[in-house]
Structure 1
Amino acid sequence: MDAFYRSLKQKGFEGDIDTSDETRQFYSHDASLFELVPQVVVSPRNTQDLERLVSAVTDCRGDIPGLSLTARSAGTDMSGGAINDSVIVNFRKYFTKIGNVTEHTAHVQPGVLYKDFEVETLKHHALMPTYPASRDLASVGGLVNNNSGGEKSLEYGKTQNFVSELKVVFSDGLERTVKPLTKAELDKKMRQKDFEGQLYTRLFRLLDDNYDLIKAAKPRVSKNSAGYYLWDVWNRETGLFDLTQLICGAQGTLGFVSDIRFKLVKARPHSGLLVLFLRGM
């Protein structure tokens, strides 16, 4: 891993690099039953550090087999998505800013805990309603990357319904804004002669050429947090192409979410719980 550390230093990485046994053991678990001890835990200070991390992995992967990055915030994931045996990227330490919050929208970084975020939204009598059962422990980055849904999911659906814009660091090591695009905006993207243009072109061709097949493959279930929702990205009827729908639920495998803009709903002043006891089914 020395070559990786040297590469980070040469690129100006400003965050923390921790190889201590104590830290590695702590980050070898999430809320799942799995255990994988990472070689190192890094805590990027800013978006530039995320870009440096991705670039360094690209440079060193040929010399270090198995070198990879796994994003982690609060680590409440129950499927093992927040652990690996290579590099853990810790968002909880520095990506913790809550930006502008109104009664309809909120701007926040992925390392913010949902419970702290909710304190701010409730000041505006607003709520991001797709919080999971682990609302007191989970981060908002985890909500997006796991496409969370909890006690209010039957009414409001999952987190993907409330993401209006994301900033994502892709595999080319650059941060880009991801949001719903009109067909005209999509065409402009596809004319770009760069990684982003190629990404939009290849994905659009895949979705449009196989439109009916992909739409028919959508699971007919009330809740699906398995990720890779290809059927929700391109809609011929509305003319909207929304890459946020693919990022949500992908657990950081398609890119690192560095910034989030949510849509909010009005918080109800009262709530109640009804418990039913059944003699039989």
Structure 2
Amino acid sequence: MDSFYRSLKQKGFEGDIDNTDATRQNYSHDASLFELVPQVVVFPKNIADIQRLVLAVNECRGDIPGLSITARSGGTDMSGAAINESIIMDVNRYINKVENVTHNSAQTQPGVFYRDFEKATLAQGALLPSFPASREICTIGGMVANNSGGEKSLEYGKTENFVTELDVVLADGKTYKFSALKKDELEAKMAQKNFE
């Protein structure tokens, strides 16, 4: 992993890197029955750090078999999707701001706890009704990743019904904006020769 740490620092990663036994053990489980001890846990400070992390992993993948990133925030997933034996990227520490809330829309970062998001939306007379039973400890990023639903989902649907746009860092280290496409827009995107 030394070459990975060097690459990450050379690319200007500003967040925290923790490979202590205590942290690795803490991140070896989520709300599932599974346990996988990661080699390292990283805490990016911003989107640029996530891009740097992805580029470092791509650069070192040939030298370090199995090198991969698993995004994590609340760790309340019950399927084991928030654990791995390589790199855990925790967005909860720094990428956790509710950016904008109106009566009919909101923009937020993935590490925001739903409980905090709900306070902000209720203040505007709005609610994201797809909250799961873990609403006090889950995060928006996890809700989107798992397409969460809960007690109000039969009436209002799951999280996918309320997400209109996502900014996502893909394997090339670039950030892309995803939103619903019309058929002709989708066909044009599929004809492109890049990640977008």
TM-score, normalization by structure 1: 0.68
- Correspondence 1:98-137 to 2 at 5 A: 98-137=98-137
* AA of the residue aligned to 2:58: T
State the superposition RMSD in angstroms: 1.2
Aligned residues: 196
Q: C-alpha distance in 2, partners of 1:190/1:30? A: 36
1:189 Cα deviation (Å)?
3.2
Equivalent residue number for residue 68 of structure 2: 68
* AA of the residue aligned to 2:177: T
Q: C-alpha distance in 1, partners of 2:67/2:166? A: 26
1:147 Cα deviation (Å)?
0.5
Equivalent residue number for residue 246 of structure 1: none
**Per the alignment, in what secondary structure is the counterpart of residue 133 of structure 1?**
coil
1:29 Cα deviation (Å)?
1.1
Which deviations, in whole Å up to 9, do the C-alpha atoms of 1:133-186 show, x marking residues without a partner? 000010011100011000001101111111100001111111100001223433
- Correspondence 1:43-54 to 2 at 5 A: 43-54=43-54
* AA of the residue aligned to 2:105: T
**Unaligned segments of structure 2, at least 5 residues:** none
Which deviations, in whole Å up to 9, do the C-alpha atoms of 1:219-273 show, x marking residues without a partner? xxxxxxxxxxxxxxxxxxxxxxxxxxxxxxxxxxxxxxxxxxxxxxxxxxxxxxx
The structure that has the greater radius of gyration is 1
Query: Percentage identity across aligned positions?
Result: 65
**Per the alignment, in what secondary structure is the counterpart of residue 83 of structure 1?**
coil
Q: Is the CA contact (8 Å cut-off) linking 2:170 and 2:195 kept in structure 1? A: no
**Unaligned segments of structure 1, at least 5 residues:** 197-281
Q: C-alpha distance in 2, partners of 1:154/1:190? A: 33
Q: C-alpha distance in 2, partners of 1:187/1:95? A: 33
Structure 1 outlier segments of 4+, above 6 Å:
none
Which deviations, in whole Å up to 9, do the C-alpha atoms of 1:41-90 show, x marking residues without a partner? 00011111111111111111110011110000010001111011110000
Q: C-alpha distance in 2, partners of 1:187/1:148? A: 29
Equivalent residue number for residue 56 of structure 2: 56
Q: C-alpha distance in 1, partners of 2:114/2:100? A: 15
